[in-house]
Amino acid sequence: MKPAPFRYHRARDVEGATALLAELSDEAKVIAGGQSLVAMMNFRLARPGHLVDITGLRELDHLGVGADGGLRIGALTTHHTVETAPADRLGAGFGVIRDAMRWIGHLPIRTRGTVGGSLAHADATAEWCLLALLLDAELVAHGPRGRRHIPAGEFFFGYYTTALDPDEILVEIVFPRPAPHAALTEFAERRGDFAIVSAAVDLAVDGGDIHGGRVALGGVDAMPVRVPAAEAVLADGGSFRDCAEVAASAVDPPSDGGGSADYRKHLIRNLIERACEEAMSR
Amino acid sequence: MNDTTGLGDDVQLITLDVNGTSHEVITAPRRTLVDVLRHDLGLTGTHVGCEHGICGACTVLVDGLPARACLMFAAQAEGARIATVESLADSGTGTGTGELSDLQRAFTAHHGLQCGFCTPGFLMLAQGFLAERPEATKEDIREVVAANLCRCTGYQTIVEAIDACATARRSQRAAGAEEDSCN
Ligand SMILES: Cc1cc2nc3c(=O)[nH]c(=O)nc-3n(C[C@H](O)[C@H](O)[C@H](O)COP(=O)(O)OP(=O)(O)OC[C@H]3O[C@@H](n4cnc5c(N)ncnc54)[C@H](O)[C@@H]3O)c2cc1C
Ligand code: FES
Ligand code: FES
């Protein structure tokens, strides 16, 4: 199908983009890589009256580790740029982020789709959303009232809903510290599809011993979730298998076309154990 | 501007760089890149299947990288270099002899197509991928072709065609390097 008519605006700077969004209010939508939005517009699931194209804002296309050891990624950075970033820019402790990119759609999707678009779109199994939650990222939003930093734990509200106001744009995501022993893995029916279940862990390892860790899941709720019960198992020195078992019984996944709740629990058991092993072997 | 597109909306003037030629197009903002290529520029080599990024029939190169032309508005392509399947053969610019490229010949030699509907998309996917990853293994190629759908071939012959092309290019480069070092 073809999209409904709209007016097209090309933003020249961040201030201009947010001022325009404020003026046009809920009639307008930001467009970045278009890999989710254009598909929705072609099917008329979205019919914005105005599009504000931010792809010209090259200052939002950047990636690098700062003096504080944190990794900052501009909202317009594509999945492909992250996937192919040279090691000195991405930083040794952030391999989990680079490796997660291959799970996002396919090459021609990753060359256009952006980090900011993924986070703002907030699909329940999107890899960026899971990484943000797992690694305690901060999302930087800019609006007519200025800039604010939103912790990932307070950013996702539910299916495709976030803490962003309609006149705010996401400008940057900050991963505060390296995660040398972290991994993300998932299962989808076909390569490149959105995952049925995705699992990610970040182990705290010191001298070969595990002192705890964070565990997050996608595809079990309306947004990515952390699983405190499973994290407690790691903190108490439990096995990866126990951690995975506890995670599967702690969540209440939906039954839908992707799979039944039982099937999802089965995936969780396998994927968490696999993610723990991968994270440990890094 | 007046509507001359039959779309009945506001129109805009955009300039697109397609296969090395600059084109001025008056079109509505809601026109996707693939529709402008096909309907306004008459470049019907790029196909349209699903219009939501799944099938890959519309794959073109945007600044050298494979992208879905159905998931971009034409206005967003201003300032970028667009390459379509018409650019591959020597006749792409209208001045050459019409000889097919090495990649296209590999598809013919390995029966990488049957009905041909998916072929322009696979060709542009492979063209962009091999330019970035000339050392790609058959396994890498197998993974990348999962991006596009083919309902005829079963993919095996497509993988073989791309692999054969990559291998031939590598040995050509190696031979070239040897010649250079002899000189
Ligand atoms: C075939 C296919 C398979 C895919 N598979 C996956 C997958 O496995 N995993 C996955 O995570 N994704 C997948 N995607 C989606 C892809 O990752 C998109 O890139 C992403 O969801 C949206 O990014 P975008 O830049 O394209 O955003 P757009 O499509 O341009 O925008 C998406 C939404 O975010 C808003 N937005 C965009 N940028 C900003 C910003 N900076 N500030 C505020 N709001 C903003 C827009 O208004 C819109 O509502 C797939 C897409 C396709 C077509
Ligand atoms: S028509 Fe673009 S991916 Fe199917
Ligand atoms: S050759 Fe017919 S769809 Fe691929």
> For the sheet containing B12-18, what is the strand order?
B21-27, B12-18, B81-83, B59-62, B65-68
Please name the amino acid found at residue B143. E
A237 CA to centre of ligand 2 in angstroms = 49
Percent of chain A surpassing pLDDT 70: 100
Helical ranges in chain A per DSSP H: 14-24, 37-42, 79-83, 87-90, 95-100, 107-110, 115-121, 127-134, 228-235, 240-250, 261-280
DSSP 3-state assignment of A111? coil
Ligand 2 in reach of B56 Cβ (< 6 A): yes
Q: How far is CA B42 from the centre of its chain?
A: 15
Range of the domain at B60: 1-87
User: Structure tokens of A89?
Assistant: 């820019």
Give the pLDDT of residue B98.
81
State whether B147 and A192 contact (CB < 8 Å): yes
DSSP B76: G
State whether B143 and A191 contact (CB < 8 Å): yes
**Residue B120, domain member (yes or no):** yes
In 3D, which of A239, A154, A150 has the Cα closest to residue A203? A239
Instruction: Write the CATH number for B151.
Output: 1.10.150.120
Which stretches of A14-61 are assigned E, i.e. beta strand? 28-31, 50-53
Give the pLDDT of residue A258.
86
In angstroms, rounded to a whole number, what is the distance separating the alpha carbons of residues A156 and A171?
Answer: 16
Whether residue B104 is found in the same domain as residue B166: yes
**Residue A153, domain member (yes or no):** yes
The number of distinct structural domains making up chain A is: 3
ipTM: 0.93
- Domain boundary (B60, B87, B114) is at B87
Whether residue A81 is found in the same domain as residue A147: yes
Instruction: Write the CATH number for A34.
Output: 3.30.43.10
User: Structure tokens of B76?
Assistant: 């967003």
Question: Which residues numbered 87-126 in A keep a CB inside 8 Å of some CB on B?
Answer: 105-109, 111-112
**Residue A1, domain member (yes or no):** no
In angstroms, rounded to a whole number, what is the distance separating the alpha carbons of residues A228 and A151?
Answer: 18
Per-residue CA distances from B24 to B12, B59, B93 (Å): 10, 22, 17
The number of distinct structural domains making up chain B is: 2
DSSP B99: P
Nearest Cα of chain A lies from the Cα of B113 at a distance, in angstroms, of 21
Whether residue A92 is found in the same domain as residue A42: no
Contact list in B for residue A31 (CB cut-off 8 A) is 73, 76
Each residue's pLDDT tens digit, B96-124: 678 999 999 999 999 999 999 999 999 99
For residue A72, name the pLDDT band (cuts at 50, 70, 90).
very high
DSSP 3-state assignment of A116? helix
Whether the full predicted model's pTM is greater than 0.90, yes or no, is yes
Instruction: Write the CATH number for A247.
Output: 3.30.390.50
The rounded mean pLDDT for chain A is: 96
Q: Mean pLDDT over residues A42-55, rounded?
A: 96
Whether residue B28 is found in the same domain as residue B9: yes
